[in-house]
Structure 1
């Protein structure tokens, strides 16, 4: 009995330490994120994307890169092992007007192949361009927060590196769209 109680207290202490570290690290992450979008790094990042996607237009390169990442890390039914309601969820981004991002989402149920399509227009003016995401340990997906209200916006397969790269590309894309 005492060993179980000791084990539970140890787990609680470990969780508390992790939680405090995560909360205290958030401002540091935001500062690092801010520094990543300012200075010489953006020019290097954008020139690499333009070279990779064979274009001279930053916006086209950012859209192509974001869409490629969304395809690569798309939530697929095959990755949802143990889930009762498995489905594919695929996104496609495009620019629908000045300062407006169009998010096209397709969800296909694995069991009956039902297809649901949703289009969302996102006016980027006045929004914080720093995209945030969360990859909960208990989930098989990473969820990106909406820059409008902080609610769930996009979901990709759980991959921290992929989520970080997509958040970076989306942040650069929003800043580019905010220029008009």
Structure 2
């Protein structure tokens, strides 16, 4: 119970500190003010795209410097992505009524060849079973804009693989949190591509 409270507190602090970094659409979704979204009635919220430009990247990195003052920009981006992945992990408590209620945990790391490794850990709710998979993602030649989908129903959102658009990460359904992760990952990919 204490751990759940701390996670919600940490998520709230991260969003409060970086609330200005959210895309306008994500901020509206988080507050429930996106009327066009409610009028559509589609099964997914659509492909959300993080906005990248030079000024936005500089502002975003300046804000991250306050959160991670002793880290280089790439390390700060990686650390921020991993903290968001921890905060928005799809845990068994969010999957009420599902037959298989495992925790899905992710962690990103850099590969020496300019790629990204996605470590996926599937842990049973009682801790008796753990599966670990590593998914290397080559980043050179891909669009750095990270997209995600959040269905109107269900407990989860999916961050899409920039290589082929297939699901890469499954996180708890939280538009603002997933939008922030997509933005941080987009800036991380862009930084890696720039060398």
Counterpart secondary structure, 1:128 = coil
| C-alpha distance in structure 1 between counterparts of 2:54 and 2:82, whole Å | 25
How far off its partner does 1:55 sit? 2.7
Match of 2:187 among 168, 172, 177: 172
RMSD: 2.3
Match of 1:133 among 148, 155, 158: 148
Counterpart secondary structure, 2:111 = strand
Moved more, 62-71 or 41-50: 41-50
TM normalised by structure 1 equals 0.79
Greater than 4 Å deviation, 4+ residue runs = none
1:97 lines up with 2:112 in the alignment: yes
Which residue is 1:122 aligned to? Answer: 137
- Pair 129,68 (structure 1): closer, same or farther in 2 beyond 3 Å: same
1:18 lines up with 2:17 in the alignment: no
1:159 lines up with 2:174 in the alignment: yes
Which residue is 1:43 aligned to? Answer: 58
How far off its partner does 1:135 sit? 0.6
Gaps of 5+ in 1: 1-14
| C-alpha distance in structure 2 between counterparts of 1:43 and 1:156, whole Å | 27
Contact 1:98/1:177, CA 8 A, preserved across alignment? no
Q: Which has the larger radius of gyration?
A: 1
The total of aligned residue pairs comes to 157
- Pair 55,112 (structure 1): closer, same or farther in 2 beyond 3 Å: closer
Which residue is 1:147 aligned to? Answer: 162
Match of 2:84 among 65, 69, 83: 69
Gaps of 5+ in 2: 1-36
